[in-house]
Amino acid sequence: MEEPLTGATLSRRTTTFPAIHLDRTSAVSLSAQIADQIARSIEHGTLGRAARLPSSRRLAQMLAVSRNTVLAAYDELNSRALVEGEHGSGTRISAGSVFPTGPLTGLRQIMSSAHFPECAVHFADADGNPLYINGRATSTR
């Protein structure tokens, strides 16, 4: 059965947290459902950059789930570099998160938006380690 969390205005802030729908009968874990829905809200701009997310205790209470479920969701978002958190400061949307503003078409545009060099020359050093050279800098990997 799907349980919606209607959008809620968080206290002390003007940020409205988007609705989260949990399907407790789904094979997808609750933490994955929470993480995916928050990620979509970030990508669509519903949650702005540097916006503060509810505390894990508050969100767990709002969704009627275990705090560990919310912590797992926040850890997943952190591993995707969508949020960053510091002990005692809460969890915020990463200010440096870059999301495409429109549909990407063509390999060159996708590579450019990923900041991948368009023209990379591959060499190996004396020990056989690869060197990647682009128009701006030389780096070793």
Work out whether the CA dihedral 10, 90, 32, 68 comes out positive or negative: negative
Q: Enumerate the β-bridge partners of residue 9.
A: 16
pLDDT above 70: percentage of residues in the chain: 62
What pLDDT does residue 35 have? 94
The CATH code for residues 2-93 is: 1.10.10.10
pLDDT at 99: 53
What are phi and psi for residue 70, nearest 5 degrees? -65, -40
Q: 34-79 pLDDT, tens per residue?
A: 999 999 988 888 888 788 899 999 999 999 999 999 999 999 999 9
Rounded Cα distance between 50 and 71, Å, is 19
Residue 135: pLDDT over 70: no
pLDDT in tens, 95-109: 765 554 555 556 666
For residue 137, pLDDT over 80 is answered with: no
Give the model's confidence band at 12: pLDDT under 50 very low, under 70 low, under 90 confident, else very high.
very low
Could you state, in order of their start, the residue ranges of all structural domains in the chain?
A: 2-93, 107-140
CB 8 within 8 A of CB 58: no
pLDDT at 86 over 50: yes
Taking residues 9-14, report their average pLDDT. Answer: 47
Whether pLDDT at 29 is above 80: yes
Q: In the chain, which ranges are E strands? A: 2-5, 8-9, 16-17, 20-23, 83-86, 90-93, 121-124, 130-133, 138-140
The pLDDT mean for the chain works out to: 75
